[in-house]
Amino acid sequence: MSDRVQIFEVVARDGFQNEARFVETADKIALIDALSRTGVAKIEATAFVSPRAVPNMRDAAQVLAGVTRAPGVVYSALAPNLRGAANAVAAAAHEVNVVLSASESHNWSNVRMTCADSLADLTRIVDACSLTGTPVNISIATAFGCPFEGPVAPSRVLDFVKRCAQAGAAGVTLADTIGVANPVQVERLVAAAMQILGPVPLTLHFHDTRGLGLANVYAAWRAGARRFDASLGGIGGCPFAPGATGNICTEDTVHMFAEMGVETGVDLEMVIDLARTLPQLLGHDTFGRLTKVRSRAQAECRTAAAQ
């Protein structure tokens, strides 16, 4: 059981936040409810951020209120600061995912705070959330590289990891916000972070910008990581990171682990079916490979049947 991999679905947050078209609240809720039945361990349902800065997240409270909580699924919400965390708790999020960046310039661009201020806030956020018993996961963005500053020193990232644990984080996520991580770097940083974190669970959050998403998942898994964020259809990206593109794709990630003989508990056919509903919802094509393989196979069958 300890070797089972957990998939955390982020399409409703990281996926939708970067969409130009507003995704209707009812559509968000319907998708989250459908995802609840696929076997994903956690769903990042929304973000409590500035509605002006991220218009697609302006219905955060309604989304959380409208979702049918399925047993065994953790409904998480992202928050950049204490106010966002308080709103997430008020909306009965099971978990608050606080984000700060390892690099100063991305932290400023993303949450308008210095890293020192964000770090100082962590304890206050954890304490506030503990009043309702809400666990806080802390996501460290730009942990593998920054769109403004380039490489980020591993020692700095690991220092952030230590401070997150000290602040009382229930979990820590290392995020490759702009898809610049490479597998060797991932194996090293994951091993070092897990050593610091001990029993505090580590999650990896990769983007597939340069095609290394699943290579990085494999590298992290090899180093011992068992928790991965992924987005249905591989959509997503940070609106405040130039060049950011889609997350690793849920269905492709689930498929890789299935082929590797690693249990995720996620029903591959269900996530493929859901991924295939995205283009109509979003008005554009998505990035998953499995959906394309299936579509091609079905087209070949139709051609064969017509002959």
Nearer to its own copies, 199 or 242 (CB): 242
Per CB under 8 A, the list member of 212, 266, 274, 275 interacting with its own copies is 212
Write down the residue that tokens 């965390």 correspond to: 85
Enumerate residues 144-183 that contact its own copies by CB under 8 A: 180, 182-183
- Minimum distance, C-beta of residue 261 to its own copies, in the bound complex (Å): 7
**Nearest approach, Cβ of 219 to its own copies (angstroms)?**
6
The footprint of its own copies on residues 227-266 (CB under 8 A) is 242-243, 249, 252, 255-256, 259-262
Q: How far is CA 31 from CA 171, 197, 296, in A?
A: 25, 33, 25
Separation CA 210–CA 299 (nearest Å): 29
Minimum Å gap between C-beta 279 and its own copies is 18
Considering only residues 57, 63, 111, 219, which one is a binding residue for its own copies as defined by CB under 8 A?
A: 219
238 among known catalytic residues: yes
The only residue of 24, 263, 285, 300 in contact with its own copies, by rule CB under 8 A: 300
**Which residue lies nearer to its own copies by CB, 33 or 149?**
149
Contact 118, 100 (CB under 8 A): yes
* Binding region for its own copies (CB under 8 A) out of 27-35, 198-206, 268-276, 286-294: 286-294
Task: Report the C-alpha gap between 266 and 174 in whole angstroms.
Answer: 22
Q: Does the footprint of its own copies cover residue 199 (CB under 8 A)?
A: no
Q: What are the Cα distances from residue 8, in Å, to 39, 45, 134?
A: 10, 10, 18
Which residue is catalytic, options 146, 238, 249, 301?
238
Instruction: Tell me how far apart the alpha carbons of residues 257 and 265 are, in angstroms, rounded to a whole number.
Output: 10
Q: Give the residue, chosen from 211, 303, 306, 307, that forms a contact with its own copies under the rule CB under 8 A.
A: 211
Q: How is 44-84 classified by DSSP, letter by letter?
A: EEEE-S-TTT-GGGTTHHHHHHHS-PPTT-EEEEEESSHHH
**Scanning the structure block, which residue is given the tokens 């249905």?**
232
Please, which residues have CB within 8 angstroms of residue 255's CB and are 6 or more apart in sequence? 268, 290
Residue 289 engages its own copies in binding (rule: CB under 8 A) = yes
Count of alpha carbons within 13 Å of 53, Cβ hemisphere only? 12
The encoded tokens of residue 297 equal 């196979």
**Closest approach of Cβ 211 to its own copies, in Å?**
4
Residues that bind its own copies (CB under 8 A): 180, 182-185, 208-215, 217-219, 222, 242-243, 249, 252, 255-256, 259-262, 288-290, 293, 296-297, 300
